């Protein structure tokens, strides 16, 4: 067993919860921790609460970081968000002796979120090498759709964790069902033909 640290960025949403589950399933990357960041997003309270519930369900330590409010560019895009979050996570991992940062990007994110694309992840890793940090950023699902990621998991493992997640840019309860986060999530569950465990029947 490695003594290195794997830190999973956990937003409280479905993608990051599945990324965390993936690391637990692999079980060979040393100490696994999670980090949630409040950067002034409209949905910060329900996301924070969801991140706490997910990590409690999976018995994973959760680090919480409060950041200055990050300016958005409209259309739910926050400029340089993942660059900032990954940098903070890399700092934490380096402080602990090195390891990995995991982010739950999916293929659907590529259109509106340039910092979810594989070239961005590659560039970040090049930068970390130049900074001489023993940290690697991984985005295991970056080339997969949300439905493909969901299909890859046995539901006995995922149902309880996903029931704790929250995906809505408007930060309302219940989720609005109309914003891009809600629409993409509903489409993924619709494609696999399974009810969303976070939505009451």
Distance CA 69, CA 1 (A): 39
* pLDDT single digits (tens) 117-150: 999 999 999 999 999 999 999 999 999 999 999 9
* DSSP assignment string, 52-114: HHHHHHHT--EEEEE-PPPPB-STT-BTTHHHHHHHHHHHHHHHTT-EEEE----GGGGTT-G
**H or E segment and range at residue 16:** helix 14-26
Per-residue exposure over 32-50, b if at least 16 CB sit within 10 Å of its own CB, e if not: bbbbbbebebebbebbbeb
In the block, tokens 């130049």 appear at: 130
| Residues 82-125 pLDDT 10s | 999 999 999 999 999 999 999 999 998 888 889 999 999 999 99
Give this prediction's pTM. Answer: 0.94
**Could you give the CA distance from residue 167 to residue 13 in angstroms, rounded to a whole number?**
5
Share the mean pLDDT of the chain: 91
Report residue 157's pLDDT band, with 50, 70 and 90 as the boundaries. low
Are 105 and 139 within 8 A, CB to CB? Answer: yes
Cα–Cα nearest to 63, from 102, 44, 89, 43 = 89
39-52 residue pLDDT tens: 999 899 999 999 99
SS3 state of residue 174: coil
With a CB cutoff of 8 Å and minimum separation 6, the contacts of 130 are none
């Amino acid at each position: 067993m490695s003594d290195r640290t794997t830190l999973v960025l956990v937003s409280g949403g479905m993608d990051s919860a599945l990324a965390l589950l993936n690391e637990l399933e692999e079980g060979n990357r040393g100490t696994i921790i999670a980090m949630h960041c409040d950067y002034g997003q409209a949905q910060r309270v329900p996301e924070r609460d969801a991140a706490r519930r997910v990590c409690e369900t999976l018995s994973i330590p959760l680090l919480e970081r409060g950041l200055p409010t990050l300016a958005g560019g409209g259309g739910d895009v926050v400029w340089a968000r993942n660059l900032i979050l990954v940098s903070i996570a890399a700092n934490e991992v380096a402080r602990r002796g090195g390891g990995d940062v995991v982010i739950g990007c999916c293929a659907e994110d590529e259109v509106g979120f340039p910092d979810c694309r594989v070239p961005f992840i590659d560039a970040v890793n090049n930068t970390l090498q130049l900074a001489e940090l023993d940290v690697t950023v991984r985005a295991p699902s970056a080339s997969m759709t949300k439905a493909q990621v969901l299909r890859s998991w046995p539901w006995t493992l995922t149902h309880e964790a996903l029931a704790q997640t929250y995906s809505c840019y408007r930060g309302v309860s219940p989720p609005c069902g109309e914003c891009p986060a809600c629409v993409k999530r509903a489409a993924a569950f619709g494609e696999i033909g399974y009810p969303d465990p976070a939505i009451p029947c």
